[in-house]
Chains A and B, each alone.
Chain A
Amino acid sequence: EVQLSESGGGVVPTGESLKLSCAGSGFSFGSYAMSWVRRGPRRGLEWVSGISASGGRTYYSESVKGRFRIFRDNSKKTVDLQMNSLTAEDTAIYYCAKVPGSSLAVAEFDSWGQGTQVTVSS
């Protein structure tokens, strides 16, 4: 059974940094692209970032480009999201999601973690 488990969320002051981590199990982690998706209060789902199976391609939404960085360690079966210069707009539940293929392009998200709460306070 595919399992994704996020960690690293918390309360952080505006302008500070936070690193989220997602651990995968129950599947061949290094064969699949991964993504981070968030849902803020009173908002819809918002895609944040994605990474190919090998880690060679990374993708970012305009709202986080230049502030967030995604990376993965296939030997540890983890995908992390380093978040810098956080603002109140980044307050959300952050979900880790698996893609049923090695590339993010076109594909859907077939498995999701339970999410980790990030709150940016002023």
Chain B
Amino acid sequence: SYVLTQPPSVSVAPGQTATIPCGGDTLETTSVHWFQQKPGQAPVMVIYDDSDRPSGIPGRFSGSKSGNTATLTLGRVEAEDEADYFCQVWDSVSEVVVFGGGTKLTVL
């Protein structure tokens, strides 16, 4: 089955930039989406179609993709950005949705 690989954790100081990678075969040919989930809350989409930002999501959030790695970048990190972040794709071969394992972002 299709696998998306994310680091379990990333730490960053306030005001710095955090980057969260997501790797998977054939990522360069499929759209990648990103979700933020804080404890006790529902997930929120922060990036869709690799790099588009939904309305209401701060401009500090950006997405990019190079080859088979997609990256979520959070600029000028704030304490409120501390959360779990998940990448997601559609596996067109198996016709299933796949989530990455998630990355816990800690703001030091």
Contact = CB atoms under 8 A, between A and B. Distances in A.
Q: Which of B86, B96, B101, B102: most chain A CB closer than 10 A?
A: B96
A27 to B, nearest CB: 15
A106 B101 contact: no
B45 interface: yes
Contacts of A35: 97
A45 B99 contact: yes
Interface residues of A, number: 25
Contact of A59 (B37, B96, B100): B96
Contacts of B92: 105-106
Contacts of A45: 35, 37, 43, 86, 88, 99, 102
Interface string B66-101: 000000000000000000101010101001111111
Interface string A56-99: 00011110000000000000000000000000000000010100
A62 B91 CA distance: 13
B1 A112 contact: no
Contact of A109 (B35, B100, B102): B35
A105 B48 contact: no
What are the 3 tightest A-B residue pairs by CB atom distance, in nearest-first order? Answer: A47-B97, A44-B102, A108-B33
Interface of A: 35, 37, 39, 44-47, 50, 59-62, 95, 97, 104-110, 112-115
